[in-house]
């Protein structure tokens, strides 16, 4: 299944919202880790860069001084197709540890490392220097995705925000809420045209390629037919309450680690915003995550799995906002830059205004 690749702005927004101290990018070869790190921090920062000369060696460079040292040597006799570099610990000891100490003593709040791999594990003194660095500075690093002690330790820290570019959003569900009667609009607004396509298509596009499973819950047969035609799983019902839509959606998405409830009538909602919510939720499953503009909360809202039992038993006519009010201490927000991104098209006048926006 294709996955929407989180952009630098998306990652920056999620990370800022999380309150975490350090940012770690990981993923397989060619996943774009280094490119993203450079996009996130375009200005050169103190830190360390390592790179490999295929079939020859691995080198470490101190970003500020430009000094280099060899930290790995190619050994063709090693088993397997990868990881044929043997450790040259003196490079880590002679340059690496000193470079990290200079980063600790420097003025910059942030330090970058690209990348931390399996060779580092063989030099305990260098790993200790990384730990000390993380106590006094903020680290943005590319960490090679391998089952090594240093990978497990760094990515499991409570103060670390991890973006795994192979699976950035985890196993999340999405329910697109498309059951409104459109009373103020004068009919089924979800099929009203918006820049050449039905309004509901905007929600489908904003949530595409992010979730483990997506479901549209609607009472409108034309909406259901359109969504099925686009390959979307759809629940068609004739139940009266918002609480019914929430319950039916949760039942349909099945076993997931959290679920986004997305209105079907927010045509300016950006996929980057939805992805930022999903990234934040993957990194901290204790909280309810919702969008906000200048601290004014809005929708969509992403609920963690601990909220599911109460969501399936909401009082008639109530929605997930009931839990948001019940657990304010468990609420976190992801900011949007444009107030109109979270605006509903409740009337024909609203829709015309949003088309112009």
138 Cβ neighbours under 8 A, 6+ residues apart = 21, 22, 23, 109, 110, 111
Whether the predicted pLDDT of 183 surpasses 90: no
In the structure, what pLDDT confidence band is assigned to residue 188 with cuts at 50, 70 and 90?
confident
What's the whole-number average pLDDT of the chain? 94
In this predicted structure, the answer to whether residue 182 has a pLDDT above a threshold of 70 is no
pLDDT of residue 80: 66
Lowest mean pLDDT among 79-88, 121-130, 304-313, 330-339: 79-88
How is domain 21-158 classified at the CATH fold level?
Rossmann fold (3.40.50)
Q: Which pLDDT belongs to residue 197?
A: 95
Which residue spans of the chain are classified as CATH 3.90.550.10?
A: 173-356
Average pLDDT over every residue of 248-260:
97
Mean pLDDT of 15-30: 95
pLDDT value of position 81: 66
**176 pLDDT tier (thresholds 50, 70, 90):** very high
Cα distance between residue 244 and residue 234, in whole Å: 15
29 pLDDT above the threshold of 90:
no
User: pLDDT class for 120, splitting at 50, 70, 90?
Assistant: very high
Q: Edge-to-edge strand order for the sheet containing 296-304?
A: 233-236, 213-218, 173-178, 258-263, 296-304, 288-293, 331-335
CATH topology of domain 173-356: Spore Coat Polysaccharide Biosynthesis Protein SpsA; Chain A (3.90.550)
Position 96 scores a pLDDT of 97
**Closest among 169, 167, 163, 209 to 34, alpha carbons compared:** 163
Helix axes 8-18, 33-40, angle to 10 degrees: 70
Q: Which of 92, 81, 77 is nearest to 130 (CA)?
A: 92
Half-sphere exposure of 186 toward its Cβ, with a 13 Å CA cutoff?
Answer: 6
- Is residue 190 within 8 Å of 182, Cβ to Cβ? yes
Tens of pLDDT, residues 62-97: 999 999 999 999 887 777 666 678 999 999 999 999
Tokens of 100: 């990290």
Domain with CATH 3.40.50.300 in the chain: 21-158
For residues 137-158, average pLDDT: 94
Q: Which has the minimum average pLDDT: 159-163, 177-181, 337-341?
A: 177-181
Predicted confidence at residue 157, as pLDDT, reads: 96
Residue 82 has what pLDDT?
67
DSSP 305: G
Residue 184 confidence (pLDDT) above 80: no
pLDDT at 308: 97
Helix axes 97-105, 124-136, angle to 10 degrees: 10
């Amino acid at each position: 299944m294709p996955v929407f690749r989180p952009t630098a702005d998306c990652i920056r927004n999620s990370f800022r919202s999380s309150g975490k101290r350090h940012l770690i990018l990981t993923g397989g070869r060619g996943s774009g880790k280094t490119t993203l790190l450079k996009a996130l921090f375009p200005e050169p920062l103190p830190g360390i860069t390592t790179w490999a000369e295929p079939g020859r060696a691995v080198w470490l460079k101190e970003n500020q001084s430009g000094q280099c040292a060899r930290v790995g040597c190619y050994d063709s006799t090693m088993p397997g197709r990868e990881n044929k570099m043997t450790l040259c610990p003196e490079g880590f000891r002679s340059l690496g540890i000193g470079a990290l100490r200079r980063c600790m003593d420097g003025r910059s709040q942030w330090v970058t490392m690209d990348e931390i791999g399996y060779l580092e594990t063989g030099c305990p003194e260098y790993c200790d220097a990384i730990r000390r660095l993380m106590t006094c500075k903020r680290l943005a690093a590319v960490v090679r995705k391998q089952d090594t002690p240093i990978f497990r330790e760094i990515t499991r820290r409570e103060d670390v925000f991890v973006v795994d570019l192979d699976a950035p959003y985890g196993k999340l569900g999405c329910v697109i809420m498309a059951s409104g009667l459109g009373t103020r609009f004068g009919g089924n607004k979800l099929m009203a045209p918006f820049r050449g396509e039905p309004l509901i298509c905007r929600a489908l596009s904003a949530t595409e390629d992010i979730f483990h499973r997506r479901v549209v819950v609607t009472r409108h047969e034309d909406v259901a037919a359109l969504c099925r035609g686009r390959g979307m799983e759809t629940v068609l019902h004739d139940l009266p309450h918002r609480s019914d839509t929430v319950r039916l959606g949760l039942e349909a998405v099945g076993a997931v680690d959290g679920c986004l409830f997305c209105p079907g009538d927010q045509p300016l909602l950006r996929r980057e915003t939805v992805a930022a919510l999903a990234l934040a939720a993957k990194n901290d499953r204790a909280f309810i995550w919702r969008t906000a503009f200048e601290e004014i909360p809005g929708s969509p809202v992403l609920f963690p799995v601990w909220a599911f039992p109460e969501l399936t038993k909401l009082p008639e006519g109530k929605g997930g906002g009931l839990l948001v009010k019940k657990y304010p201490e468990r609420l976190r927000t992801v900011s949007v830059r444009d107030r109109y991104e979270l605006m509903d098209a409740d009337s024909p006048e609203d829709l015309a205004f949003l088309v112009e926006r």
